[in-house]
Structure 1
């Protein structure tokens, strides 16, 4: 059991990616950023030992928490179970239907979480599929993941995650959180990101799955030109029609460029 550490009597588990936030300064800063209101429905993913939960529950109208670790459920129940606005769901957030919670309230959901690094990207995409029921999301993630979510073309952080996340929502990095703010401390720096799904997409394609395939193919071999990486869909002369140079590489293309490519392929097929 060299991989675990006892935190407040709980064995922090490596397989769940558990690093509990324990620094009051950063806890307050996160709550300030979220600014929960009495008429809002919040959902916390992975409440852990309840460091953020205890602030959210006093300010939010309704708070649902989704926790995978069965050992934490009784602790959370005994700590917060007496609040009328509190509900707990022992579940894997990657499989959880967040839209069902929306059916219980008029308000769209505000999602909060200190996400385990190993599930952060798939979980964000799982939530974006349910974006019509979500107002905004505040996540603590590995700093590198936040940089990728918010990256601009031409930077080394820019990639598939940047393009697809920014297609669906506005992403902004709020502040970094040092490893020492957690118990046990992770090996990496963390950061808080705010993701706000667009009510209606500023630019859209008919087939978002096709867009995702194009973006994935373009970034799978970053050193290749788009003429090579996208040849299953486009001939050399197609790039002239789109208004892009086939000699460009994926990291130089903006979200708008990828949307143009996708729309051109949709119209041609």
Structure 2
């Protein structure tokens, strides 16, 4: 089904680490479980290690690639799929993913994300959550730990709260450095994000929620009383049945939403 790929050296400026461990690749594919009726999207296909398996299972794929040297290699490698393999030479950070939705089927997004842009890219993708069925990403393990952390855990913070506001978050398994070429200096991990069709807690204004969370964690060792002082008083926090003496990492998402909605109503 494919031609032999042309040699390509990983580029540091794109944060490229190409996956080559076939056992890990198959484990990722089993976790994703692509189907021929799915609308599959891959961010940063690289040399096509995952792409090959995704196409074999789903038969059709849109890929977004920033490195201009890679699309010709990928088009050659997957020429037999014709117009069922579509590559978009674009920056995923600026890409409008809604254009890829061609039916009532939501997007299933997959990617081995560069460490240097992973958190910004995930926030960008969360803005398209209504168009997404699920997302499976390879990320730095530290980032996955932060996204999956719950209240009271050391890694719990802005990234995890906002990811968990929009999605069910599952840390699946760790991927060692040796699975890549070149090998990164840290462990990676696979994460699954499944956007909620109905949010467990609804913020009146998501931008206000983001402001509350960001402000609360400006100095995470300080209490809510101190950190949220620019937004509301300790008495107002207490009136929401929240202890202003708590540190922000102790608060569940529902409390952050309650503070946000109070501030939205206060403004109006």
Instruction: Please give the TM-score of this superposition, normalised by the length of structure 1.
Output: 0.95
2:116 is matched with 118
Can you give the 5+ residue segments of structure 1 that lack an aligned partner in the other structure? 1-6
The partner residue of 2:80 within 79, 82, 86 is: 82
Whole-angstrom distance in 1 between the partners of 2:151 and 2:242: 15
The partner residue of 2:54 within 56, 81, 87 is: 56
- SS of the equivalent of 1:157 reads coil
1:101 is matched with 100
- SS of the equivalent of 2:9 reads strand
Whole-angstrom distance in 1 between the partners of 2:117 and 2:161: 19
Whole-angstrom distance in 1 between the partners of 2:17 and 2:97: 24
1:3 is matched with none
2:126 is matched with 128
The partner residue of 2:250 within 231, 249, 252 is: 252
Say whether residues 1:37 and 2:35 are aligned partners: yes
Give the deviation of 1:234 after TM superposition.
1.2
Contact preservation (8 Å) 1:40, 1:61 = no
User: Alpha carbon RMSD of aligned pairs, Å?
Assistant: 1.2
- Aligned residue runs from structure 1 range 134-145, under 5 A: 134-145=132-143
Whole-angstrom distance in 2 between the partners of 1:61 and 1:13: 29
Whole-angstrom distance in 2 between the partners of 1:169 and 1:106: 20
1:261 is matched with 259
- Number of aligned residue pairs: give it: 262
- Aligned residue runs from structure 1 range 60-209, under 5 A: 60-84=58-82, 85-102=84-101, 104-209=102-207
Whole-angstrom distance in 2 between the partners of 1:193 and 1:8: 30
Give the deviation of 1:9 after TM superposition.
1.9
1:4 is matched with none
Whole-angstrom distance in 2 between the partners of 1:133 and 1:30: 22
Whole-angstrom distance in 1 between the partners of 2:238 and 2:96: 44
Deviations 1:86-130 (A, max 9, x none): 10111110011110010x233111000000001111111111111
Whole-angstrom distance in 2 between the partners of 1:236 and 1:56: 52
Contact preservation (8 Å) 1:41, 1:61 = no
Whole-angstrom distance in 1 between the partners of 2:217 and 2:45: 34
Deviations 1:161-187 (A, max 9, x none): 011110011100000000000000000
Whole-angstrom distance in 2 between the partners of 1:229 and 1:263: 18
Higher mean C-alpha deviation, range 206-215 or range 81-90 = 81-90
- SS of the equivalent of 2:80 reads coil
Deviations 1:198-242 (A, max 9, x none): 112111111110100010011111111111111122112112210
Whole-angstrom distance in 2 between the partners of 1:240 and 1:203: 20
